[in-house]
Amino acid sequence: MITLVLVGLLIGILASGTGLGGGFLVVPYLLMLGKDARLAVGTSFIYILIVAISSLIAHFREGNLDVKTGLLLGLGGVVGAQLGPLILKHVPNVGFKWAFGLFLIGVGVWTIAQTRA
């Protein structure tokens, strides 16, 4: 239990500082613990919700919010969030792991390439 709290603390620091939400770290961690992909994704959203609310408050205090853009992105996100689980239930666990891993590699390569631009 203490390990989960400490891992949550570390991911919370990384997530709130980068704006990445933490799911990109929570899901692989839960998969490493032997959780099913669907359970790992669903469980990570509890974490993300709590961290997002906390981060929102902290960034609001700092004046780092573009409310209009955030609400518009959120509108699309709400629709996408309803479609994601429907799609995921048709994806085998191993297929999810491959797709998620390749996605993370792609994001990493893109991020590094952007630093040179």
- Determine the average pLDDT of the residues in 51-73: 89
Token digits of residue 54: 């906390």
What CA–CA distance (Å, rounded) separates 39 from 77?
20
Count the domains in the chain.
Answer: 1
Q: Is the pLDDT of residue 19 over 70?
A: no
Amino acid at 70: G
Q: Which domain holds residue 22?
A: 2-116
pTM of the model: 0.65
- Determine the average pLDDT of the residues in 11-40: 81
Residue reference for tokens 């780092």:
64
- Determine the average pLDDT of the residues in 90-115: 89
In the chain, % helix, strand, coil (3-state, to 5) comes to 85, 0, 15
Give 15: exposed, middle or buried? Use CB within 10 Å, 0-12, 13-18, 19+.
Answer: buried
Residue reference for tokens 């609001």:
60
> CB–CB of 23/48 below 8 Å?
yes
